[in-house]
């Protein structure tokens, strides 16, 4: 979807000032890949700095299964869809173009579009074959949550199957919690959720109790967390609400909420094609970035869950802001240096 009509906040018509809507080969200052909190925040800063900006959004926000977002000052309880709609409206007011689609490839050019500075740029290939040239890139492609393969988990994820107590703990406080182990590290999750309920059962599932450290076991006992061995076979749902966790032996443990630990899968394909350095972590491989989000590839920044699995919406928005501010300064100094060269 592309904003084509109306006026920007400074009175200019949307789609002017060199916006990249003209078609194949069109150029802009910055392409932002991803239209979630990080991407829209970056686009807002770039638009306000009067840079020709295109946001390409595949429409796959990580928090789509959730009915609300929490912990974002002034936006607490807002639905993710409403949050994104507000952000899209704001960036349109500064002449930023938003395109529904997917970036399928990026290549590095010798000279950025529309400049005579010798500044390098990028050719961005979109699905459908359209190309856009850009001087800088901000990659805010996020990640995917790969859920445990337990029947019922995917269907109820974001409702009463949850993963983050900071996101949902208050709304389900004091209910009977279950925590599904996916590794020995899940003990930490079981301990954390005990802040929101004193009735917590830790289902070891495919993890042997021997894999837990002595310190974990002592802390679980001190927190009053019950530990249950045996593989989880599925969920018990009645009247469209979770009522229990069923083990492979047929026994059922009454629970109203189940916390799980999805395996984060970073969307780093574009960064890898550009040769960005990645760092392996227990939660996936993420680009090595400086405090502004600059990757090891000159001219390419990353923000949001593209740089780490634990980025909440408020962190993602902040990261997008920082990256965009750095891009604004980088382009300005590049142009000033070119103007004074020779």
Task: Write out pLDDT tens, residues 170-208.
Answer: 999 999 999 999 999 999 999 999 999 999 999 999 999
Which residue in 54, 70, 69, 36 sits closest to 142, CA to CA? Answer: 36
Domain of 59, CATH number, reads 3.50.50.60
Query: Are 282 and 242 members of one domain?
Result: no
Query: Are 313 and 214 members of one domain?
Result: no
pLDDT of the residue at 258: 98
Query: Are 29 and 113 members of one domain?
Result: yes
Residue 4 lies in a domain: no
Residue 91 has pLDDT above 90, yes or no: yes
pLDDT of the residue at 2: 37
Query: Are 172 and 77 members of one domain?
Result: no
Query: Are 40 and 131 members of one domain?
Result: yes
Picking from 235, 259, 283, the residue at the C-terminal end of a domain is 259
pLDDT of the residue at 116: 44
Residue 12 lies in a domain: no
Interacting residues of 280 by C-beta distance below 8 A, sequence separation 6+:
none
Query: Are 284 and 135 members of one domain?
Result: yes
Query: Are 237 and 293 members of one domain?
Result: no
Which residue in 190, 156, 340, 182 sits closest to 262, CA to CA? Answer: 182
The angle subtended at Cα 135 by Cα 103 and Cα 124, nearest 5°, is: 20
Residue 53 has pLDDT above 50, yes or no: yes
pLDDT of the residue at 67: 86
Which residue in 234, 1, 21 sits closest to 99, CA to CA? Answer: 1
Picking from 229, 259, 289, the residue at the C-terminal end of a domain is 259
Query: Are 233 and 202 members of one domain?
Result: yes
Task: Give 186: exposed, middle or buried? Use CB within 10 Å, 0-12, 13-18, 19+.
Answer: buried
CA-to-CA distance for 152 and 54, rounded, in angstroms?
39
Average the pLDDT over 285-312 and give the result: 96
Domain that holds residue 51: 20-144+263-340
Query: Are 171 and 189 members of one domain?
Result: yes
Query: Are 81 and 169 members of one domain?
Result: no
Query: Are 133 and 39 members of one domain?
Result: yes
Give the rounded distance of the alpha carbon of 204 from its chain centre.
Answer: 28
- The larger pLDDT score, comparing residue 309 to residue 22, is at 309
Query: Are 321 and 173 members of one domain?
Result: no
Residue 10 lies in a domain: no
Residue 1 lies in a domain: no
Picking from 259, 278, 295, the residue at the C-terminal end of a domain is 259
Residue 15 lies in a domain: no
- The larger pLDDT score, comparing residue 173 to residue 11, is at 173
pLDDT of the residue at 5: 36
Residue 13 lies in a domain: no
CA distances from 72 to 2, 80, 166, 218, 255 (A): 28, 11, 11, 34, 29
pLDDT per position as a tens digit, 229-266? 999 999 999 999 999 999 999 999 999 999 999 999 99
Residue 284 has pLDDT above 60, yes or no: yes
Residue 132 has pLDDT above 70, yes or no: yes
Average the pLDDT over 1-23 and give the result: 41
> What would you report as the CA-atom Rg of the chain, rounded to the nearest whole angstrom?
23
Task: Give 131: exposed, middle or buried? Use CB within 10 Å, 0-12, 13-18, 19+.
Answer: middle
Q: Give the chain's domain count.
A: 2
Residue 286 lies in a domain: yes
Average the pLDDT over 2-29 and give the result: 48
Residue 2 lies in a domain: no
């Amino acid at each position: 979807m592309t904003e084509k009509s109306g006026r920007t906040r400074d009175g200019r018509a949307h789609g002017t000032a060199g916006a990249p809507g003209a078609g194949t080969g069109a150029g802009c200052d910055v392409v932002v890949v991803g239209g979630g909190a990080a991407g829209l925040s970056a686009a807002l800063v770039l638009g306000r700095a009067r840079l020709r900006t295109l946001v390409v959004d595949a429409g796959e926000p990580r928090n789509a299964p959730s009915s609300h977002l929490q912990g974002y000052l002034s936006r607490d309880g807002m639905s993710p869809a409403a949050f994104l709609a507000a952000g899209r409206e704001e960036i349109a007011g500064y002449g930023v173009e938003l395109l529904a689609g997917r970036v399928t490839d990026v290549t590095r050019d010798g000279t950025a579009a529309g400049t005579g500075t010798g500044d390098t740029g990028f050719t961005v290939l979109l699905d459908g074959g359209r190309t856009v040239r850009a001087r800088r890139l901000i990659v805010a492609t996020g990640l995917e949550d790969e859920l445990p393969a337990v029947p019922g988990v995917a269907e109820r994820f974001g409702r009463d199957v949850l993963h983050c107590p900071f996101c949902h703990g208050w709304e389900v406080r004091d209910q009977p919690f279950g925590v599904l182990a996916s590794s020995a590290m899940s003990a930490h999750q079981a301990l954390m959720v005990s802040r929101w309920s004193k009735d917590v059962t830790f289902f070891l599932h495919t993890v042997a109790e021997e894999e837990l450290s002595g310190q974990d076991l002592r802390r679980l006992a001190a927190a009053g967390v019950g530990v249950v061995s045996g593989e989880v076979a599925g969920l018990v749902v009645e009247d469209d609400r979770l009522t229990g966790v069923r083990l492979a032996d047929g026994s059922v443990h009454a629970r109203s909420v189940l916390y799980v630990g999805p395996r984060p899968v970073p969307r780093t394909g574009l960064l890898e094609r550009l040769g960005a350095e990645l760092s392996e972590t227990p939660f996936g491989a993420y680009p090595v970035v400086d405090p502004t989000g600059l990757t090891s590839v000159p001219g390419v920044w990353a923000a949001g869950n593209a740089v780490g699995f634990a980025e909440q919406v408020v962190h993602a928005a902040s990261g997008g802001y920082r990256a965009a501010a750095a891009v604004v300064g980088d382009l300005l100094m590049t142009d000033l240096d070119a103007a004074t060269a020779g």
